[in-house]
Chains A and B, each alone.
Chain A
């Protein structure tokens, strides 16, 4: 029986206004080479100046991932030639990353698994090459766009602690959630602001040795990570089971065939000739600064989830869905603050609200229903101003138009009819028109009363108070 040993490297683009070492904008949709300057183009004599916000984000993330924050951190040069790397070296952190020795706790099948984080470090992104008609060695021409060159990235490297494709998925989801909570990255895989490289080997279950590492590339979603790992576990297991050896190589995930394809064999590891970046001084990261940053950390997903179960008495399932994003959790709590009954709020947020969001593709941040309005609507239900059924109609209207429930109820005349005289008139009319059913009820067929209630509701377009209708019908048809 084999078990996989998986490690993941994540590159998250930091959400700073300007690049890591110059003041160029980080906007990704600008015209090619419009966000460039002598520094990010690697002109002779241009020097890098560290973006302090990026460092702050690095420290913040390090703290959120339970890392030790370096007292002295520095930059190094990683040397390799590629036309989109404007200086032909990348400024990164090799010897002294911002954070080391952290971890993330991941809940999987009711069990908490601790995945250790090896390191968190800052580095600059490269530009983008377009090789016309082939790769770099076969293209008829190549175009370079340096807008992305120098954009700040945070590389987060896990220890090889992940033991299943599902766990890899959960690890990435939790990491993404944390980065989003911190507000340090957009984490949009489709825009490249979150990228992951995965390495996997297999070994006999219970063994403490490591097998031959295979690196997986072209992973454009967390699902792709999970699927490609499932595929690799299977493939490598078969290779070993058939008495052959796994080859050290990089494999490409092919989405169409749902398979990994060999890209290149790794002979010797590439020699990047790292050395300390002489253009930048070592950074002394003062402990008071670190403490100040620690104090600004938001409540993180795991803690919030736990608080939701304890403070609001929510089931684990509700708590985990509601804390998926900070915005959703904030929304929920805002409604609860006004309304009180957490489980009812949870039902509405996870039910009607989520349904409408999914149907329209609107995210919680653009939802028009103010938390106070949802609370007000729930209170109107409690008071009997509107029925539960009408509430759904009202809520849809609130979602579409952003109006307050009071306005909608007034405009559409949706107030529940609780006037006994008015209802009695309608009830009498229904009995008149449905003599046959009325007789059945009189004869003791209690179930048939439901039909009559339905008729009253139909006639009042759902505005009749169902309890009162029931009472009035029984008064007339029983004893």
Chain B
């Protein structure tokens, strides 16, 4: 087995015992990227030289007898909307094509302090707006399971590179499902933490009241390990959670006999594909087998979640992205008459169509004549949804549903109909509105071998329960062990295949 194929918790002890060097581990990941990323296209930027340099430094430290750090030598891919000092951070936008941040995001700082090594920056929908990574201004990313399909989005590159073993793990960001939906489409584990658990400092803001950075990895234990390293109070993010955190790996007990799992009936409505529903039902059976109590619950207001989400997220986005004006950094249109038109034309040329659509939508819902009708209504819906969740969590320890109504769809299938694309997030949006955590874990494959994700949700800051249930389910199943046959894919440039 190659080193890049190992999970974090498998590779770490080998590095700790110095059975392998960090350089060897990083080199194998970089080799894998070189071999396959021409096809998958998960990365916008690969930081090979920098990574090898850091790897050598890490090895030198270990040789000197310094104690290994919690993520020593692990290759990590960072979504390209998370700032990396000295390394180009584009947000997959023409506007920031040459932008080199003068500072690191808090999460990057924490990962590097913990010994992780950044191997590159991953592709995404421009400024995290999209569900297929087709809105990247650079290029689309392929789903390693089937190159004709999308990897999901917006963290499509971060999902694809993990399942294609081009990184041990990655960071994504999730505003309405952007970690969980691509994790589900690519058959990996993706965790969106509670709002405030992980610092947003250095994350290019999309919808600030919902944005969260989270881990994407090949199993639950890896997610817990990474979460431990990145979570926790950061004075640079005023919304950051100030309290002491539990030991996330310590809470991974594969015993859920006293757990009550709620299944919101609204998550099993029409629109849910039969294969996904079947896989989900089987997952519920498995949980009951494991001793959990499964009950049906209702979240009466979540049927308005998607509408509220698009109103609020677009409103915040229209303001957050206003800073991209050609004045201080980023793309500047040439040949403008004056600074006012320079600002307008730079935005017109530098930003892509989906970004513009949401800026227009956000500006519209915040305008004086529409503010009450749309924005305030959406805020009301949001607090009703939060209440729904609160009430339900008085009865259950966690909630479950499918992560996305379908498996990964074909590239180009939904690009002409934005509304249809938005529906891909219908189950992932409610936790963002309520600020609660959600995780997607593999729960099956459809007849064509495409992975299916199970979403688990828990009360705010109760990542411990979330991880424990996810871990118990994972340990009782084999779905997380599936890997796409990328060799086959590479040759045929088409379909993938399941190999458990």
Contacts and interface: CB of A to CB of B under 8 A. Distances in A.
Interface of A: 38, 41-50, 77, 79, 81, 83, 86-89, 131, 136-139, 142, 144, 271, 273-275, 278-281
Contacts of B316: 275, 278
A38 B319 CA distance: 17
B105 A45 contact: yes
Interface in B184-230: 200-205, 207-209
B29 to A, nearest CB: 26
B55 interface: no
Nearest to B327: A83
A48 B323 CA distance: 14
A47 B368 CA distance: 27
A42 B328 contact: yes
B343 A278 contact: no
Nearest to B237: A47
B325 A89 contact: no
B308 interface: no
B235 interface: yes
Contacts of A88: 322-323, 325
Contacts, number: 112
B315 interface: yes
B371 interface: yes
A44 B83 contact: yes
A300 B182 CA distance: 62
A96 B89 CA distance: 36
Contact of A45 (B101, B209, B239): B101
Interface in B53-85: 81-83
Given A49-B235, A81-B322, A44 B96 contact: yes
B363 A273 contact: yes
A334 to B, nearest CB: 43
Given A45-B83, A137-B338, A83 B325 contact: yes
Contacts of A144: 327-328
B201 A45 contact: yes
A87 B101 contact: no
Given A44-B323, A273-B367, 18 more contacts: A44-B101, A45-B200, A47-B200, A49-B236, A49-B238, A50-B238, A81-B343, A83-B339, A83-B343, A86-B328, A136-B338, A137-B340, A138-B338, A139-B339, A274-B366, A279-B238, A279-B239, A281-B238
Contacts of A46: 103, 201-202
Contacts of A44: 83, 89, 91, 96, 99, 101, 204-205, 323-324
B203 A45 contact: yes
Contacts of A278: 207-209, 239, 316
A41 B103 CA distance: 13
B367 A271 contact: yes
Contact of B338 (A45, A87, A139, A280): A139
Contact of A38 (B102, B208, B340): B102
B375 interface: yes
Interface in B311-369: 315-316, 318-319, 322-325, 327-329, 338-340, 343, 363, 366-368
Contacts of B318: 79, 273
Contacts of B236: 47, 49
A180 B409 CA distance: 66
Most chain B CB within 10 A, of A41, A81, A88, is at A88
Contact of A279 (B205, B325, B363): B205
Nearest to B368: A271
Contacts of B315: 275
A77 B105 contact: no
A274 B83 CA distance: 28
Contact of B322 (A47, A89, A131, A142): A89
A144 to B, nearest CB: 7
A138 B363 CA distance: 27
B195 to A, nearest CB: 10
Most chain B CB within 10 A, of A38, A46, A49, A142, is at A46
A457 B328 CA distance: 75
A83 B341 CA distance: 11
13 contacts: A44-B204, A44-B205, A45-B201, A45-B205, A47-B238, A49-B236, A83-B339, A83-B343, A86-B327, A138-B338, A275-B315, A275-B371, A279-B238
A275 B366 contact: yes
A280 B339 CA distance: 30
A273 B322 CA distance: 13
Contact of A136 (B81, B202, B339): B339
Contacts of B324: 44
B205 A89 contact: no
Contacts of B89: 44
Contacts of B105: 45
A42 B368 CA distance: 25
A279 B440 CA distance: 27
Interface string B230-266: 0000011111000000000000000000000000000
B238 A48 contact: yes
B315 to A, nearest CB: 6
The 3 A-B residue pairs with the shortest CB-CB distance, nearest first, are: A88-B322, A278-B209, A278-B208
Contacts of A271: 367-368
